A and B are shown apart, each in its own frame.
With several copies, the nearest count.
Chain A
């Protein structure tokens, strides 16, 4: 879209230069020419990531007013604020590819772009805030750390900032669960119940298995992705299992065990029908999350209009 209209010869040269940059593990910047597929893939991925930050505020915001201590309330408020900030970085990164925040919102609200399906599950107890921090942010970090080396510069730089904050979040989630697990019996039960509910959805956050993920090869060739879905999922499981032991909580998978030959934890089969159902709109909160988002955005329209009108008026007056 933002590209020139090069001759066929010019196009070959541009492509070669683009591929050389990728091959050299250097960064593509907004001013650089890039193939349209690369651009579209990045827009889709960054937008989905940005939307996930914005929608992802909801399940946690659900517990801010009810947080059981002031310290926890402050930490949770700061976390939800970070998510809004991540959304901003990411929409800004997407804008460098020639698509505006307003357009992306429109695509989110009309269901033409997605957000991470994990946020279509409800936060039913305070322990869910812990489970989201530990498991969901844990999975997010596993996904995102390699993105800090993504071939597209603005995205990679946004991810570096985001990953720093996410690792705080994961530690805070762990800390919440640790306190619950070592607290009263009711608190322990709350923690275990939350982990039981969030474990499998967290594993699904890495996307479908490699043999059902047709775009992975291209994304890896472009340096957008560095590992396959299954590789990342395995990294995550290997990270989480020992942490669960420290927490004193079990993971709801009887087939989970150390495999000394592979040097990894084996785990049971994932219910991919649930994954596709939730992606397709059949999660417990799909409707609710999007409705909440659209209602908030719609209710704020007059505020945005007022800000625009004031800016226009103010400009005029200064000019006059």
Chain B
């Protein structure tokens, strides 16, 4: 049934990253430290959700089994989700949310900058629009990383703890495998390992300016791209999917 299983997998991975991070960010609504941040975090969530919808819709078409964006978002089980672990991690405090966003958006910006020249029109289109969005998300996270890192003693401590906490989740962003290598060879996808130097450089610069210490990598979390997730993910899915699954024959 699947017309291009590698492209299906690749598109799902991109879509799931965006969907799950949007879900986490939307938990902030009405809880941000100031109104401007309620607006900013919602805005980032909306951008990512928009990307997710296009990507999941497209994945469904590539698969050719008649699944639409909602079938893919609401009716897959945990091992069928292919997002990286970083995006599913709990929000923690504002510094944690910023660190997660800094790491992800810096990666996504580099990814979209490459994906813009994909031979696949849909992916190229997502990238062309997404590159502007990711640049804004990255700038927002950078600015807050500076403010928190170089703000008060407390904010410095919290920001450093957040950077340390999510550091082990960053290598997975650059994991390359047969899927990414094959699609990169076809000029459709990007092998994320090529994005790493750019990411490292950008993150080094921000951490330094923010007076933050770059963590040592003691371990690295992998598995999301193969559907193996972390313990917090099941709770997220239960909340996200419960209502939709409760009414299997409904449209909304």
Q: Are A306 and B155 in contact (CB under 8 A)?
A: yes
Q: Would A313 and B221 be within 8 Å (CB), given that A84-B39, A88-B39 are in contact?
A: no
Partner pick for A61 among B30, B33, B252, CB 8 A cutoff: B30
Is residue B151 within 8 Å, beta carbon to beta carbon, of the partner chain?
yes
Q: Are A179 and B252 in contact (CB under 8 A)?
A: yes
Q: Are A88 and B35 in contact (CB under 8 A)?
A: yes
Is residue B193 within 8 Å, beta carbon to beta carbon, of the partner chain?
no
A87 to B93, CA, bound (A): 23
Q: Are B250 and A183 in contact (CB under 8 A)?
A: yes
Is residue B178 within 8 Å, beta carbon to beta carbon, of the partner chain?
no
Q: Would A184 and B250 be within 8 Å (CB), given that A88-B36, A310-B146 are in contact?
A: yes
Number of A-B residue pairs having CB atoms within 8 Å of each other in the complex: 176
CB neighbours (8 Å) of B230 from chain A are: 122, 284, 288
Q: Are B250 and A123 in contact (CB under 8 A)?
A: no
Size category, A interface: 35 or more
CB neighbours (8 Å) of A88 from chain B are: 35-36, 39
A88 to chain B, nearest CB (A): 5
CB neighbours (8 Å) of A81 from chain B are: 29, 38-39, 42-43, 46
For chain A, what secondary structure do more than half of its interface residues adopt (helix, strand, loop), or is it mixed? helix
Size category, B interface: 35 or more
Stretch binding the partner chain, chosen from A72-80, A198-206, A242-250: A72-80
Q: Are A74 and B46 in contact (CB under 8 A)?
A: yes
A186 to B155, CA, bound (A): 47
Partner pick for A87 among B35, B52, B239, B244, CB 8 A cutoff: B35
Is residue B53 within 8 Å, beta carbon to beta carbon, of the partner chain?
yes
Chain B residue nearest to A292 (CB atoms) is: B30
Chain A residue nearest to B38 (CB atoms) is: A84
Q: Would A310 and B151 be within 8 Å (CB), given that A65-B240, A303-B94 are in contact?
A: yes
Q: Are A302 and B154 in contact (CB under 8 A)?
A: yes
A residues 34-75 touching B (CB-CB < 8 Å): 54, 57-59, 61-62, 64-74
B32 to chain A, nearest CB (A): 7
Q: Are A303 and B42 in contact (CB under 8 A)?
A: no
Q: Are B152 and A73 in contact (CB under 8 A)?
A: no
A305 to B165, CA, bound (A): 23
A279 to chain B, nearest CB (A): 12
Is residue A17 within 8 Å, beta carbon to beta carbon, of the partner chain?
no
CB neighbours (8 Å) of A68 from chain B are: 74, 243-244, 247, 250, 252
Contact with B along A279-320 (1 / 0, CB 8 A): 011111111100011001101111111110111010000000
Q: Are A287 and B70 in contact (CB under 8 A)?
A: no
Is residue A1 within 8 Å, beta carbon to beta carbon, of the partner chain?
no
Q: Are A70 and B49 in contact (CB under 8 A)?
A: yes
Q: Are B78 and A124 in contact (CB under 8 A)?
A: yes
Q: Are B78 and A299 in contact (CB under 8 A)?
A: no
A180 to B45, CA, bound (A): 26
A59 to B165, CA, bound (A): 20
CB neighbours (8 Å) of B42 from chain A are: 77-78, 80-81, 84
Is residue B61 within 8 Å, beta carbon to beta carbon, of the partner chain?
no
Residue with the highest number of chain B CB atoms closer than 10 Å, among A73, A122, A193, A299: A73
Q: Are A77 and B45 in contact (CB under 8 A)?
A: yes
Q: Are A302 and B30 in contact (CB under 8 A)?
A: no
Chain A residue nearest to B33 (CB atoms) is: A300
Q: Are A61 and B29 in contact (CB under 8 A)?
A: yes
Additional pairs, 13, CB under 8 Å, beyond known A61-B30, A73-B49, A286-B219: A64-B26, A66-B238, A69-B70, A69-B252, A72-B252, A77-B45, A122-B230, A123-B231, A124-B234, A125-B78, A186-B250, A293-B30, A296-B31
Residues of B within 8 A of A (CB): 19, 23, 26-27, 29-39, 42-43, 45-46, 49-50, 52-53, 56, 69-70, 73-74, 78-79, 93-94, 146-148, 150-152, 154-155, 158, 165, 168, 218-219, 221, 223, 228-231, 234, 238-240, 242-244, 247, 249-252
4 pairs of A and B residues whose beta carbons are closest in the complex: A300-B33, A306-B151, A306-B155, A282-B219
Please name 5 pairs of A and B residues whose Cβ atoms are closer than 8 Å in the assembled complex, sorted by A: A74-B46, A77-B46, A286-B219, A287-B219, A288-B230
